[in-house]
Structure 1
Amino acid sequence: MVLVVTVMMLFSVVAAACSSGNGGNTEGGNAGSGASGGANNAAGGEEKTQEKATFTIFNGAGAAKDVNTNETTIGKLLEDQTGVNFKLENLVGDLNTKIGTMIASNKYPDAAIDEVLGAGAFIDLTDLIEQHGPNIKRVYGPYFNQMKAEDGKIYFLPFSNVVGEYNPDPNINQGAFWVQRRVLKEAGYPQIKTMDEYFKLIEDYVAKHPDEDLTGFVSLTHDWRFFATTNPPMHLMGYPNDGEVTVDMNTFEAKTYSASDATKRWLQKLSELNAKGLFDKASFVDNYDQYLAKLTSGKVLGFFDYGWQIGNAQNVLKDAAKKDPAKDDFVYFPLPVTFDGEKDQYLDPPGFVKNRGIGITVSAKDPARIVQYFDNLLKEENQILKSWGIKGETYEVDENGRFYRTAEQIAKIDEAFREEFGFKYYDWNWPNYGTNSTLADGNAYAPGLQPEVFQMSLTEADKTILDKYGVRTYAELFAAPDERPWFPAWGIPKEQGSEPQMYETKKTELTRKYFPKLVLASPAEFESVWAEYMGEFGKLDTAGYEKFMTDEIKKLVEQAK
């Protein structure tokens, strides 16, 4: 299941003593209600200067170095406005161990939402939003009813709310079967629609390059990211990412697929690849950083994953290709592969994820000030700052008010610049406009979704391969998403310790145990291992879980009417 398990939750641990700098207006944003020193009163009265403060955010899904936000351009401008800095800490080691330690010690800079809610560690934000959150109400107001827990309280702010009009993504930030461009080029840019065609393409390339020490296919299994190995059967059947289940479009019945014929077919293919020496056995022991390092090595030909999850590796490859066009061969290209050429549904339809977000724990020394920071961040000028940057430096505005980037600006915004400026750290894991949002003036919230920027950002190599497939964007390679009012099913909350939550835990333990055995088994042994797996899976209350999910999905469908 694709849960960005602790994507990013907030906890305050430090309040530092230092005189507050009263930040003036900047190109990124103006000081307004709650902005200067984070100190306007609830009624918008006279401002009061506050001391500077540092709070801590723990990101359980991050793949970045620890940093203070005021060490970045964006973070410093926001500190000038509010007097607040955040120390960003990323996960090292096992996520569940980290969470357990926090709960046991009752000391939180952070943890996973389900577990932390169950421990009573998140505070209710309702009154704080009412007192200090005019922009929070503007951005999240339409979603408040969906954001409330069963007790009627709001414990965290999600990340996927759409502001303005829904804006489709020309890139592939969701699921795909990826392959190095050189593989397609050597094969004459074939149309690859089925799973067998995809793996035959890779097998043929390896056979023609026996002395290059190539890896045909890798799979990500580390920690909560194990879904990158368990999710493919769902997509290969032509379904979008609903997590643990596929959902019938007519009856709204939810069915698990972890023990389905589709999963068997997927794992059997990996077992065959392994027998041919085309599958990387280390997939079951590598951590996330090792996985990304392999993707940037130039030796891995293909893998399945989500664009947002391999973005760091893809950016490194693209940066190298900008400096040396010959290295474009190693950039990965997304393919909408299904089992037998069925209509694909890799692209997410519009949806609202209500069980992941950013919240404040009971350890926070000054929750009101944190909410004021969030509210200030949600001003449109600051959303432009965190997404587009500074006018004249990282974007321009034409005579029609359309935002764009020059070729020089696009070239300089590489991975190193994204870290220094702060784009990388303020990308997604904050209260913000959802990626597919539009600004009040009609510009795209996300630069990559602005047609002018997308086309300008394409290299000649990008244009060449897109032209070979008769499209102008990567999304055009994929089928348009069908409307699914419940989407995504993986966002349905499950109370900690409940039967559905325990089912998912047991199911995950079972797949973690048996999937490596199935993939690494010889083709002759596969059936017996599968039979053993099915015997164990049969002990789970799958029918009860499917009924729970079906009932919840039908509720969402009714709410959407």
Structure 2
Amino acid sequence: MKKGLSILILMLVLALAFTTVTAAQDDLKEFDVFISVSLPDYSGSSIVGDIIQKETGVKLNREYLVGDLEQKVGLMIASQDYPDMLVAAHFTDKFVEAGALIPLEDLIDKHAPNIKKYYSKHLDALRKDDGHIYYLPQLAIPFEPAERRYPSVGFFINKRVLEANDYPVIKSFDQYFELIENYQKEHPEYKGQKTIGYTTLFDGWRRFATTNGPMHLMGYPNEGGFVPVKEGGEYVVRPYYGSNVEKYYYKKLNEMYNKGVVDKEAFVSNFDQYLEKISSGRVLGTINQYWQVQQAQEVLINEDPDSIMVPFPVTYDPIVEEHVRDKPYVQTTQGMGITTACEDPVAAIKYLDYLVSLDTQRLIQWGIEGEHYQVDEDGMFYRTEEQLKMFQDPTWVRDVFGRHYFYNAFPSLTGLGPDGNSFMPSRQPSAIYANSSEAEKEVMDAYGVKSFTGLYNKPFEDRKYFPLWTITLPTNSKAQIESTRMTDALVQHIPTLVMDSTEKFETNWDAYTKQINGLMDAQIEHYQKQIDWRMENW
């Protein structure tokens, strides 16, 4: 009898507990969010996510990008079927133009003290011509900028090539390819697969990885399709499309393609295939933004450290003084917005405000003190070797810790915090070198630097407008029509310039420059006006 009573009581307790949990789940406020990055579906639970959900009472129903982003954006706007919140990379402004995003400035003023505080220097820059703010960029720099392990862009070269040549300092594009070509001849295969001397990315909107090459060879950071050149104390917008440097760049790629150095599949491979090739360790060189190769680099660090990719600020001539490193900036053309479909925008902005608070940012980026990082007697954060090993496992960071699901697309903080700690652990001044992998340290030691940005000159400091690519062209304007036609010309001609025979290069170059002639005038005029305004008002 007593045994039966005990079982009955236990069943009642379990039922009550289940009811309590269910009720707690039912009480959660849910928001649908579209995020323009490719990630696996969120499992619903992670170290970071569980804490955030408990503290906010909010559950996010995420939709991540599958397929082409521009096509996805077009379908959403055509159907007017919007989630509660969204971020669509550099297509976010299309939702503003479609009237799909609501103004945020009043919501920020009344309900978002953290956003108001940490984005204060950038709010005016985020206002559109109508005076409204429609989205919040992923990163705000509330205090001082921090150092970083990797520069934003580089001509990457495989560590094996550097090691075989006693770690040379690479200055010119010719030198870069000479090293790659010679190493490929001596090592035609790697782990049973054909060695790829050089590959590039030309997949959809990511094609800038290829087309921006001439700009970087000229020693400039990523500005977009044009370069503001300082002339007589003023920044004057100049094109690099059709320039002698661009011709040199594609002629070199064409030469290397016909020698079998450049990947035969480069112009038909998609982003995932590009990453797979680099992750295999058989690619010797590529040019790209670091955030586009980071996933592959993390695989190499863990699985094939001798094949990690090392960035250099390569120029078309060794005498060129490069300033390829980015000056810290806020992306004023993309960010998280709240749509007209959201029934509770106050709760939505409060959630975003919670995410950008100091405590939450420390949680998302560093973790839990004592578990995921330590604090020394001076108040500086650091990680033990055991903790560091956890965070060097990208799958653990994504799926168990959960950082990717609350950081990449949402308002976040960068730079140094008020206590001197970097919000991003990878940029902690005292830990950039210390937290690097053994393979990374080996390369840094060979060049006498404590980060890979140490291989670069300091960035331009007086470019208040930076970067030009954050200036948008008005829809259906002459400048925007020019830009579209320019993109069509690049898609049509660049693969041919690289992959056709060397004998046809001059003819192909003439056809390319003839088509782009007259497609830049309105763009330059619009960019120049915006550059002048920013330099005067920012």
Normalised by the size of structure 2, how large is the TM-score?
0.90
Query: Secondary structure at 1:145's aligned position in 2?
Result: helix
Quote the residue 1:543 is aligned against. 521
CA distance in structure 1 between the partners assigned to 2:189 and 2:444 by the alignment: 30
- Secondary structure at the aligned position of 1:253 is classed as strand
Code of the residue aligned with 1:424 in structure 2: it is H
Residue-by-residue CA offset, 1:238-292 (whole Å, 9 max, x unaligned): 1111111111123311012122221111111111111001111211111111110
Select 2:432's aligned residue among 454, 471, 490: 454
Aligned partner of 1:53 among 12, 29, 36 = 29
Kindly indicate whether the alpha-carbon contact (under 8 Å) linking 2:172 and 2:314 is maintained by their aligned counterparts in 1: yes
Task: Quote the residue 2:468 is aligned against.
Answer: 489
Name the residue aligned to 2:410. Answer: 430
Residue 15 of structure 2 is matched in structure 1 by none
| 1:474 paired to 2:452 | yes
Partner of 1:377: 355
- Correspondence 1:509 to 2:488: yes
Distance 1:519 1:89, change over 3 A: same
SS of the residue 2:536 aligns to? helix
CA distance in 1, matches of 2:151, 2:62: 24
Q: 1:293 aligns with which of 276, 287, 295?
A: 276
Q: Which amino acid aligns with 1:333?
A: V
Tell whether the 8 Å contact from 1:67 to 1:89 is kept in structure 2 after alignment. no
* Residue identity opposite 1:404 in structure 2: Y
Deviation at 1:160, TM superposition (A): 3.4
Q: Choose which of 291, 308, 317 in structure 2 pairs with 1:340.
A: 317
Distance 1:353 1:445 in 2: 18
Alpha-carbon separation, structure 2, partners of 1:258 and 1:351: 25
Tell me the distance in 2 between the aligned counterparts of 1:136 and 1:490: 24
Q: CA deviation at 1:173?
A: 4.1
Aligned counterparts, 1:183-332, within 5 A: 183-212=161-190, 213-249=194-230, 250-320=233-303, 327-332=304-309
Match of 1:65 among 14, 21, 40: 40
Give the secondary-structure state (helix, strand or coil) at the position aligned to 1:352.
coil
Q: Distance in 2 between matches of 1:18 and 1:270?
A: 60
Q: Quick one: which amino acid aligns to residue 450 of structure 1?
A: Q
Q: C-alpha distance in 2, partners of 1:65/1:248?
A: 42
Taking a change above 3 Å as real, the CA distance of residues 88 and 343 of structure 1, as seen in their structure-2 partners, is farther
Structure 1 residue runs without a partner (length 5+) = 1-16, 22-49, 321-326
Deviations 1:304-326 (A, max 9, x none): 01111111111111122xxxxxx
Which letter does structure 2 place at the counterpart of 1:262?
V
Shift of 1:20: 4.3
Q: How does 1:339-378 map to 2 (within 5 A)?
A: 339-341=316-318, 342-378=320-356
Aligned-pair CA distance for 1:18: 6.6
Per-residue deviation at 1:427?
Answer: 3.0
CA contact (8 A) 2:390 2:397 kept: no
Indicate the percent of aligned positions where both proteins have the same amino acid: 37
Task: State the AA in 2 paired with 1:292.
Answer: L
Distance 2:169 2:453 in 1: 15
1:102 aligns with 2:76: yes
Using the alignment, how far apart are the partners of 1:19 and 1:493 within structure 2?
47
How far the C-alpha of 1:211 sits from its partner, in A, is 4.6
Q: Is the alpha carbon distance of 1:146 and 1:108 closer, same or farther for their aligned partners in structure 2, counting shifts above 3 Å?
A: same
CA RMSD of aligned residues (A): 1.7
* Greater Cα shift, 289-298 or 154-163: 154-163
SS at match of 1:116: helix
Which one-letter code corresponds to 2:272 in the other structure? D
Moved more, 445-454 or 406-415: 445-454
Partner of 2:6: none
Maintained 8 Å contact 1:123/1:360: yes
Deviation at 1:370, TM superposition (A): 1.0
Q: Does the CA contact (< 8 Å) of 1:247 and 1:255 recur in 2? A: yes
Check whether the contact 1:118–1:495 (CA below 8 A) recurs between aligned residues: no
Task: From the superposition, tell whether residues 350 and 210 of structure 1 become closer, same or farther in structure 2 (CA, over 3 Å).
Answer: closer
Code of the residue aligned with 2:310 in structure 1: it is: F
Say if 1:211 and 1:416 are closer, same or farther in 2 by CA, change over 3 A: closer
> Is the 2:38–2:66 Cα contact (8 Å) retained in structure 1?
no
Q: Distance in 1 between matches of 2:34 and 2:99?
A: 18
Q: In the alignment, what sits opposite 2:479?
A: 500
Point out where structure 2 has 5 or more consecutive residues left out of the alignment: 1-20
The whole-number CA distance in structure 1 between the counterparts of 2:245 and 2:22 is: 60
Number of equivalenced pairs: 504
State the distance in 2 between where 1:495 and 1:75 align.
39
Q: 2-side partners of 1:19 and 1:126: how far apart?
A: 35
Q: Show the 5 A alignment for 1:394-413.
A: 394-413=372-391
The 3-state SS of whatever aligns with 1:64 is: coil
Partner residue, 1:47: none
Q: Aligned partners of 2:480 and 2:468: how far apart in 1?
A: 14
Contact 1:233 1:266 (8 Å CA) reproduced: yes
1:87 aligns with 2:65: no
- What one-letter code is carried by the residue in structure 2 that aligns with 1:65? P
Alpha-carbon distance change, 278 to 421 in structure 1, aligned in 2, over 3 angstroms: same
**Does the aligned pair in 2 maintain the 1:405–1:456 contact within 8 Å?**
no
- Secondary structure class of the residue paired with 1:131: helix
Q: Which residue number corresponds to residue 165 of structure 1? A: 144
For residues 211 and 151 of structure 1, the distance between their equivalents in structure 2, rounded to whole angstroms, comes to 58
CA shift, 1:493, in A, is 2.7
Q: Which amino acid aligns with 1:427?
A: Y
State the Cα deviation string for residues 128-153 of structure 1 (Å, max 9, x = none): 21221111111112222111111111
Higher share in helix: 2
Partner of 1:78: 52
CA contact (8 A) 1:336 1:344 kept: yes
Which whole-Å CA distance do the structure 1 matches of 2:171 and 2:24 have between them?
Answer: 59
**Matched position secondary structure for 1:334:** strand
Deviations 1:34-67 (A, max 9, x none): xxxxxxxxxxxxxxxx93122222222x232122
What SS does the corresponding residue of 1:500 show, helix, strand or coil? helix
TM-score computed with the length of structure 1 as normaliser? 0.87
Contact 2:219/2:313, CA 8 A, preserved across alignment? no
* 8 Å Cα contact 1:63/1:289 also seen in 2: no
Partner letter of residue 93 of structure 1? Answer: G
Q: How many Å separate the matches in 1 of 2:408 and 2:150?
A: 16
Give 1:524's aligned residue: 503
* Distance (Å, rounded) in 2 between the aligned partners of 1:284 and 1:244: 20
Do the aligned residues in 2 keep the contact of 1:406 with 1:456 (CA within 8 Å)? Answer: no
**Separation in structure 2 between the aligned mates of residue 92 and residue 428 of structure 1, nearest angstrom:** 16
Q: Tell me what 2:104 maps to.
A: 125
In structure 1, distance between residues paired with 2:39 and 2:487: 26
Alignment partners' CA distance in 2, 1:502 and 1:364: 33
- Provide the C-alpha distance between the structure 1 equivalents of 2:181 and 2:395, rounded to a whole number of angstroms: 35
